[in-house]
Chains A and B, each alone.
Chain A
Amino acid sequence: MFDVEKIRKDFPILSRKIHGKPLVYLDSAATSQKPLSVIEATDKYYREYNANVHRGIYAISEEATAAYEGAREKVRVFINAQSVEEIIFTRNATESINLVRFTWGKQFIGKGDVILISEMEHHSNIVPWQLLAKEVGAELLYIPINTETGRLDQNAYKKLLGRKPKLVGIVHMSNALGTLNPVQEVVRLAHEAGAVVIVDGCQSVPHMPVDVRDLDADFFAFSGHKMLGPSGIGVLYGKKRVLETMEPFLGGGDMIKEVTKEGAIWNDLPYKFEAGTPNVAGAIGLGAAIDYLKDVGMKNIWAHEQEMAKYTLKKLQAISSVLIIGPREAVDRGAVISFALQGAHPHDMASIFDDAGISIRAGHLCAQPALAVHGVDAVARASFYLYNTKEEADRFLKTVQKVKKIFGS
């Protein structure tokens, strides 16, 4: 049974008061809060078995290695990858995507090649490809957004595939619009056109069941801190046969089998792409986060968030002078709700919300192109997670009314 009040008790921060009012945290798309089990798991590592991994011939190093590799197995099962060789720990999704840029990208994308991404990408799935395109003389093209519906223009996508892109980059769920993209279909069409596909799963993996084998993407990136895990730990999933074609990313310890003065032999997957001492505590914390999410159930979390999106979208749209940026119906979208209010700048809104104890995001959301095509340069965004309630949504809606009153919108 999904019991939001019981869940809330697991998150120490949710009992905080902000400016004398109970904290309403509506910025989980930026980063999620952490349950006690995650905080305790990282704490326990530092207190009881802190040691480097893959090295020491002593008990606590073996324990640390087992916990670190155990977390990798938890990630594998969570996204249904075939093998732990396909799970590379990184710092965050940004580093995961940049890893692909500096390895596969530099090897397989050259002068005149086409890279195709969508207009609704987060900057982390735009800027690496802009840099690569500039460096090698490739062309970067964008799949347009239909601004009426907040969804990808599928026909334009099909046409653009005629340009035979080497790489297609697509966000699973948009952090700015909430749009859930039909990634399975996007991947299928890209593969038919001969492209390799990288999916940004930052906003999908924390909120819904994700099966990378179903999606069939070649690369899939996400961050731990958005899914109840600690910051500083992220994941790059890559299909084994694609990873096997790639040269290393960073050089150093742990990514080699043998080093001589003349050169080195690379370690096996996934260690080949994990140079240096990894974020052991982060991985262990991420493992604990996955345990927590599985315990609640991803289907239940998704259902709860769908309910929150439906409830909030309906009431928010009923307020005059509110403009929703993104899909207006709670279908194929997450509980990430971006909006503008006539006459009130998003930063002013965020200050008034903060005064009411409500944390929302305001600004360009690290997705400037997605907002620009909608004709706005900043929005306010409320994003919900498993610990948010309808009472909190009501407080949010009440505060929208307050902003309206102050600015006479």
Chain B
Amino acid sequence: MNMYQENILDHYKHPRNKGKIEGADFQHREPNPLCGDVVEVYVQMDGGKVADVKWEGAGCAISQASASILFESLVGKTETELRKLNTEGVLTLLQTSVNPARLKCATLGLVALQKALK
């Protein structure tokens, strides 16, 4: 099984930056109605750049690890850079092959972020 690489399992078992930010600049809770997985993201900006990201969530290894990996990479990015993030970018970050049936899981964090920016 290629999908469950060490970094995925590591982030699943030890997710980074879990928590909340009160009064965050961007915030959104995104559930996946198909499976009940959920990711809620909080982004704090400072001087036009991401100063802090926290998130909460529950679900499968793919959705939770990809959220953890994606959000960890956001600090220091500008809002414009955040808006440019796409599925391809997330898959590159994950360094694993995600089979098509699980693409929605892998992009749950991304969708949460995109909706937070709206």
Contact = CB atoms under 8 A, between A and B. Distances in A.
Interface string A292-330: 000000000000000000000000000000000000000
Interface string A331-365: 00000000000011111100110110000001110
Interface string B31-51: 000111100000000000000
Contacts of A53: none
A2 interface: no
Contact of B102 (A346, A347, A364, A406): A347
A345, A348, A355: residue with the most chain B Cβ atoms closer than 10 Å: A348
A378 interface: yes
A406 B36 contact: no
B102 A345 contact: no
Interface string B92-109: 000000010110010000
A392 interface: no
A363 B61 contact: no
B35 A378 contact: yes
B17 to A, nearest CB: 20
Contact of A345 (B3, B34, B61): B61
Contact of B60 (A345, A354, A355, A406): A345
Given A345-B59, A345-B61, A348-B4, A363 B36 contact: yes
Contacts of B105: 347
B4 A406 contact: yes
Interface residues of A, number: 18
Contacts, number: 44
Contacts of B1: 351-352, 355, 406
B69 interface: no
A46 interface: no
B111 to A, nearest CB: 16
Interface string B50-82: 000000000111100000000000000000000
Contacts of B4: 348, 352, 406-407
A378 B36 contact: yes
Interface in A370-409: 377-378, 406-408
Nearest to A378: B36
Contacts of B13: 343, 408
Contacts of A345: 59-61
A363 B34 contact: yes
A377 B31 CA distance: 13
Given A364-B36, A378-B35, A406-B9, A351 B101 contact: yes
A103 to B, nearest CB: 30
Contacts of A378: 35-36
A348 to B, nearest CB: 5
Contacts of A407: 4, 9, 61
B102 A363 contact: no
Contact of A351 (B9, B34, B36, B99): B99
B2 to A, nearest CB: 9
A108 to B, nearest CB: 34
A389 B105 CA distance: 32
Nearest to A356: B1
B78 to A, nearest CB: 34
A40 to B, nearest CB: 31
A347 B105 CA distance: 9
A345 B62 CA distance: 10
A232 to B, nearest CB: 22
Contacts of B34: 363
B34 to A, nearest CB: 7
Contacts of A363: 34-36
What 7 pairs across the A-B complex have the smallest Cβ distances?
A345-B60, A347-B60, A348-B61, A348-B60, A355-B1, A406-B4, A377-B36
27 contacts: A343-B13, A345-B61, A346-B60, A347-B37, A347-B59, A347-B62, A351-B1, A351-B3, A351-B62, A351-B99, A351-B101, A352-B1, A352-B4, A354-B99, A355-B1, A362-B35, A363-B34, A363-B35, A364-B35, A364-B36, A378-B35, A378-B36, A406-B4, A406-B9, A407-B4, A407-B9, A407-B61
Interface of A: 343-348, 351-352, 354-355, 362-364, 377-378, 406-408
Interface of B: 1, 3-4, 9, 13, 34-37, 59-62, 99, 101-102, 105
Given A348-B62, A354-B99, 12 more contacts: A345-B59, A347-B35, A347-B59, A347-B60, A347-B62, A352-B4, A355-B1, A363-B35, A363-B36, A377-B36, A378-B35, A408-B13
